Amino acid sequence: MMNITKQDENFMKLAIDQAKIAEENGDVPIGAVIVHKNQIIAKAYNQREQLQDPTAHAEIIALTQAAAALGNWHLNGCTIYVTLEPCPMCAGALVLSRMEKLVYGCDDPKTGAVKSLYNIVTDGRLNHRLEVVSGVLADECAKQLQDFFQHRRGKNKEH
């Protein structure tokens, strides 16, 4: 694992802010930020509930924004910051986009495809691999998710 920098933490805080927007909209609080040459070129949050789209994960929306910002679907030289370890769909999309680096907050033992269940982004059988930094503000990212699901379970008990 690579060292966590102050810059990683600062960009992760912005991803956490995006996750808060998802939560305010009734979606699982996951946020993503994509940076190119130290400039933010995309900010997104989960919008599955809002759009009724199973692919509307924060990472997928951010990838679309970043490609539009650069005018190129090859996202060489870009880093994505995401609050939760990407799922198989998102990890695959990161590989296909040629993203240079992935920085994420907490692990996802149920659907994580970077470390927990699979290791898609560094799989040597694929045509591209990403640098990975994990555990950036992991406790804060995990707490945000835990609080969301605890609140959701509490609401379900009331009905």
Residues serving a catalytic function are 59
CA angle (8, 33, 52) in 5-degree steps = 145
Q: What pairs with residue 39 in β-bridges?
A: 36
42, 33 contact by CB (below 8 A):
yes
**Exposure class string for 11-50: b at 16+ Cβ within 10 A, else e:** bbebbbebbebbbeeebbbbbbbbbbeeeebbbbbbbbee
